[in-house]
Amino acid sequence: MAETRTRAALVERAVAIVTVQGSAQAPDAEDIAVMDDFVDGVLASLAARNVVFVPNDDAIPAEQFELIATCLAETPAVARRFGRAADEAARRDAEEQLRVIARAQPMRLLRHDAMFRWRGC
């Protein structure tokens, strides 16, 4: 089974990116709450623009985790809320890498129901 990360871990990582915290510092509860409010909108935006679709935000694939955290932290509204300018180049690069990863994943085909198969009567 593939390794996954949770929404809480995503929020903490995005806060760490946007606030440039040291590894010994724990994020503030207020910062966590503010960032958590942005998660659904950013994930919906990424899905609507065909960048990446995350069906379960408590099971984010590990290979997409850091890139999604970067997209979240570098969204202009999020960066402004934390008192800094968004790094558009970093966000665009992360989105492009997510598109490449999504293209590389195998397509899951639906199985045909036996009722719809031609029997050659």
Determine, yes or no, domain membership for 49.
yes
> Is residue 79 situated within a structural domain?
yes
Helices 29-48 and 7-19 meet at what angle, rounded to 10? 110
Q: Is residue 50 part of a domain?
A: yes
Q: How many CB atoms lie within 10 A of CB 56?
A: 9
The total number of structural domains in the chain stands at 1
Q: What is the pLDDT of residues 56-76, one digit of tens each?
A: 999 999 999 999 999 999 999
Q: Is residue 22 in some structural domain? A: yes
Residue 121 located in a structural domain: no
In a domain, 96, yes or no: yes
pLDDT in tens, 86-108: 999 999 999 999 999 988 766 55
Q: Give the C-alpha separation, 43 to 78, whole Å.
A: 13
With respect to residue 97, please indicate whether it lies within any of the assigned structural domains.
Answer: yes
**What residues make up the domain containing 47?**
4-116
Report pLDDT for 118.
60
Report how far residue 4's alpha carbon sits from residue 62's, in angstroms, rounded to the nearest whole number. Answer: 5
Helix (H, G, I), strand (E, B) or coil at 66: helix
80-90 residues labelled b (16+ CB within 10 A) or e (exposed):
eebeeebbeee
pLDDT band at 116 (very low <50, low <70, confident <90, very high): low
